[in-house]
Amino acid sequence: MKRKSWILVLACVCLVGMSCQNNKKNTPEAVTEAFAKAFYTADFAHLYQYTTKKSQPVVQTIQNGMKGNEARLEEMKNSKVELVEVKVIEQTDSTALCGCAVKINEQPRSDRWDLVKEGDEWKVTLVVL
C-alpha cells in the first residue's frame, strides 16, 4: 500500500513540474526569445508558430521576398545568434512590449517586439507601417 502511495505522489509531483515548465514557455520573454532566434535565422516554420494570425501575412511577405535572394537566406540561416537579454518593458493582461538585445555574428543589435495574447498564448505581433 505504501508503495502505491509513493508512486501516486511521485506522479503528481511530475505532473506539477511539467505544467510549470509549460508555463515558462508561455511567457512574453520566452516567446520573444524563441521568435528572435527564428527571425534572425530566417526560420520561417517557427516564425509562424510565434506570431499572431494577423501577422502571418507579414511573415509570408518576408518569406516570399527571401526566395529571390538565396545567398542572403543561407547567410541568415547560418548566422550565430546570441541572446544577451530579453526583458519585459511594459505588460498588461493581454499585451506586452519586450526589449531584446542580441548579437548576430558578434554584431550587437537591440529591438523591441510587441506581443498580444491569442487565447492563452503569447504571440509576437508584426505591424507594417
Q: Where do the DSSP E strands lie in the chain?
A: 81-91, 95-104, 107-118, 121-125
Contact (Cβ atoms closer than 8 angstroms) between residue 125 and residue 52: yes
**Looking at the domain assignment, is residue 9 inside a domain?**
no
What residues make up the domain containing 118?
A: 27-125
Task: Indicate whether 120 pLDDT > 50.
Answer: yes
Q: What is the CATH number of the domain that holds 120?
A: 3.10.450.50
Confidence label for 9 from pLDDT (cuts 50, 70 and 90): very low
The total number of structural domains that make up the chain: 1
Mean pLDDT in the chain?
84
For residue 20, being part of any structural domain is answered with no
The model's pLDDT over 62-105, given as tens digits with 9 standing for 90+, comes to 999 888 888 989 999 999 999 999 999 999 999 999 999 999 99
Does residue 32 form part of some domain? yes
- In 3D space, the residue among 99, 103, 59 whose CA is nearest the CA of residue 79 turns out to be 103
The string of pLDDT tens digits covering residues 32-47 is: 999 999 999 999 999 9
Residue 4 lies in a domain: no
